[in-house]
Chains A and B, each alone.
Chain A
Amino acid sequence: MDNEGDVKVSYWEVFLDDVGLLFFLGAAIYFALYIVWGAMEIASVSYSPLIVK
């Protein structure tokens, strides 16, 4: 257990060791992306061409 306090800890290590944050981002990012994707799909559906407006 020598000099553990002296080890330089990178921001990547802090980020990847934060399992709570990773879990939140893993859910939140896909939640947001799927909502956007669904909204894009719904918005892109055209009206039936069989109906002459």
Chain B
Amino acid sequence: MSIQAIKPGWWQKPLDGQEKIWLSIAFVWCLAITIIMPWWHVVGDHNMSGEYHKITGGDFSMLTDQFIEKYQVGMDEGIPVVVPPANSDIFLRGAQWEWDPVLKLKAGSTYRLHLSSIDVNHGVSIQPVNMNFQAVPGYDSILTITPTTKGEYRIICNEFCGAGHHAMIGKLIVE
């Protein structure tokens, strides 16, 4: 809509030179960003889109329990501690209001991290590195991770999940 009313019949008039230039620039820019989006998705130095599957809370819990049973080495404040081998599937279960198990990983090794929630949506925020993901009930979200820096990290729930949300803090250890 222009400020001044356009005279009827504008459709039949040839394009003005400046209009041609600006339309061409807009068209070329549309093409450029259409190409840049998938290109940067592939070559940009960032995490690729994860793999995800449907799963019920019961099935995810079963897989997590099997994982804990197989690799548990101890307990930490009532939460099992697991030391999984490199290149294996590892599981992190979110539930009101705790993360389990405590994952003890080896720096430089790669793992397939399965994330899910067995009740409501939880936010997985790994601190202090500030890496953020979602634990969505009904979905097994898989991230291929290679921890590089040794240390003890906190897993904070950053998606409000009820009365105990503020106390939902897990632990991730990289050795």
Contact = CB atoms under 8 A, between A and B. Distances in A.
25 contacts: A7-B8, A7-B9, A8-B9, A8-B12, A10-B11, A10-B12, A13-B8, A13-B9, A13-B10, A13-B11, A19-B1, A45-B54, A45-B139, A46-B53, A46-B54, A47-B53, A48-B53, A48-B55, A48-B59, A48-B60, A48-B140, A49-B53, A50-B63, A50-B89, A51-B59
B55 A47 contact: yes
Interface of A is mostly: loop
A8 B11 CA distance: 10
For chain B, the bracket of interface size reads 10 to 19
Interface in A1-43: 4, 7-10, 12-13, 16-17, 19
Interface of B: 1, 6-12, 52-55, 59-60, 63, 89, 139-140
Contact of A4 (B1, B8, B11, B60): B8
7 pairs of A and B residues whose beta carbons are closest in the complex: A7-B9, A13-B11, A48-B53, A48-B55, A10-B11, A7-B8, A48-B140
Contacts, number: 43
